[in-house]
Amino acid sequence: MEKAQTILSETKPIETKEVSGSVALLEALIAEGTNVIFGYPGGAIMPIYDAIYDYKDKLNHILVRHEQGGIHAGQGFARTSGKVGVVFATSGPGATNLVTGLADAMIDSTPLVCITGQVFAHLLGTDAFQETDVINITTPVTKWNYQVTDANEIPEVISKAFYIARSGRPGPVLIDITKNAQLQKFDFSGYTPCNHIRSYRPKPLIRKEYIVQAAELINQAKKPFIIWGQGVILGEAEKEFKALVEKSGIPSAWTILGAGAIPTDHPLNVGMLGMHGNYGPNVLTNECDVLIAIGMRFDDRVTGRLDKYAKQAKIIHLDIDPSEIDKNVQTTVPVWGDCKETIPALTELIQKKDHHQWLQKFREFDKNEFDAVIQNELHPASGELTMGEVIHQLNELTKGEAVIVTDVGQHQMVACRYAKLNNSRSNVTSGGLGTMGFALPAAIGAKFGALQKTVVAVIGDGGFQMTIQELGTIMQSGVDVKILILNNRFLGMVRQWQELFNDNRYSFVDIQSPDFVAVAAAYGIKGRSISERENLSPALEEMLNNKGSFLLEVMVTKENNVFPMVPQGCSVSEIRLK
């Protein structure tokens, strides 16, 4: 009894200190390793902004010009750094301005924690000034959301938010904090990170028998084909994946979000899948005998017509999200689990092989595509500049070491097709949602996430004008982003479809633009505009060598189309070269 009493007397009491909910939030962010926040203040989040005034030495807050710019910057940061992006916004319109970015992050599996201010708890449901029901608005586009009305909840809720955002299949989380909870004082006993939530299983159990079955199919295959997506990158399994590819000798192709997991010029990398992907990977999808899909979701832009997609093949699908397996394409062998664990387990069981003849077939298609499309796109003999030759020249200068951030449209497909990528996390684009206006703010975030890298934002003249105000963020923060505008004076991708499928009826796609160089100059950003081929390489060198941000506008041919192309409603094997 005396011993028990001695132990109790020696137990130190838990130290607490009285802090506001706002301070507890900031302490939690610091404990989670957050060092950059993208945000925009307002009335309902003002207590948090007042608290952050005293944390300027620990938290670098980047003042964006629009909340959508803030969340896209958070996405860019998450994609290059591998960390959770953090975004602040106020209530009402501030919160609703996050919705597009939340939807983008949700479909592209980008880990974010968004903090929104909310009106006082006693005003909820009264249509108070700048009150919106942000929880119900964002439920479909978040992995988890929660409204805090009591400051005592903040430490635990934030720990859950980070755990949910980064674990399993990553995604965006939104925490809505009422103003009274931000101001409320409570006894704060420190921050404990979360590593388990009852009923939430971020990684499914790996079933060894399925890995054995998958290995047997691969070992028996004559024409196996690997298609991989961003899951390899999110799982930090690039080395494991490379080992699998090289041991198996299997030709491998990528979705746009998977680009860079192995280098572009790897001998077994046969190119990009999808509507504007490479000729061989698309056609030969319908000739392989075993199709191994890793960390991808069989998006419609990759599969084309599902009733004509890889019907001859046995399908092996590796994914961390069980809901993706059998959702679009029926699998022969499902391999649930984190690819960081499932890929090495599969590699151990497969035989080392060399599928030289099968690989050679991809290379034959490469030659057809080069002669019909790539030669003229990258090395035109005359005429106006093409988007492809701009990206080709950029490759020559960056040697595949830059981070390429693309907007949405023709320039995106051209950049994804032709950009040379030596490293993972070097291709940042809006994949599933296709959000115009993504690139400029995402490039800002991407640079903060990869400070030692050259970050080049490749943007069309239409998408650039959707978030052009973020030039102000560049001006104020001093971030070094290279902005490359490929200006064809059209909303190019829509125009291409109107040309090919609507009898050249160009309906509201002829877009006029301001003097982009003059606009950049107004924000203190150097710039240049060119239209002549002989000026291209020197101008790109000037952009890349400039200390600080630089805007280069390249006037490209107006009515050039992106090929190859799988027309909507067609099979991937019906891909057109012209």
Catalytic residues: 67, 129-130, 179, 493
Between strands 17-20 and 185-188, the pairing is antiparallel
SS3 content of the chain, % helix, strand, coil (to 5): 45, 20, 40
Phi, psi values for residue 85, rounded to 5°: -80, 145
Q: Exposure string (b/e) for 149-173, b if CB count within 10 Å is 16 or more?
A: bebebbbebbbbbbbbbbbbbbbbb
Amino acid letter at 52?
Answer: I
- Rounded to the nearest angstrom, the gap between the alpha carbon of residue 234 and the centroid of all alpha carbons in its chain is 10
SS (H, E, C) 133-152: CHHHHHHHHCCEEEEECCHH
Asked if residue 540 lies in contact with residue 552, where contact means CB atoms within 8 angstroms, the answer is yes
Q: Exposure string (b/e) for 206-218, b if CB count within 10 Å is 16 or more?
A: eeeebbebbbebb
Secondary structure E strands in 24-83 = 36-39, 60-63
Amino acid letter at 124?
Answer: L
Amino acid letter at 274?
Answer: G
Q: Which residues fall within 8 angstroms of residue 544, CB to CB, at 6 or more apart?
A: 397, 398, 454, 456, 482
Tokens of 450: 């990869």
The closest of 434, 428, 445, 426 to 409, measured between CA atoms, is: 434
The closest of 247, 272, 270 to 258, measured between CA atoms, is: 272
Question: How far are the Cα atoms of 38, 229, 261, 401, 482 from residue 553, in angstroms, in the given order?
Answer: 27, 31, 30, 22, 11
What separation, in Å, do the N-terminal and C-terminal C-alpha atoms of the chain show?
89
Question: How far are the Cα atoms of 464, 471, 516 from residue 551, in angstroms, in the given order?
Answer: 11, 10, 8
DSSP string over 272-331? E-STTS-HHHHHHHTT-SEEEEES----HHHHBSGGGSSTTSEEEEEES-GGGTTTSS--
Q: What is the DSSP letter of 259?
A: T
Task: Name residue, tokens 């934030």.
Answer: 158
Q: If DSSP codes are grouped into helix, strand and coil, which group holds residue 405?
A: strand
Tokens of 134: 């942000």
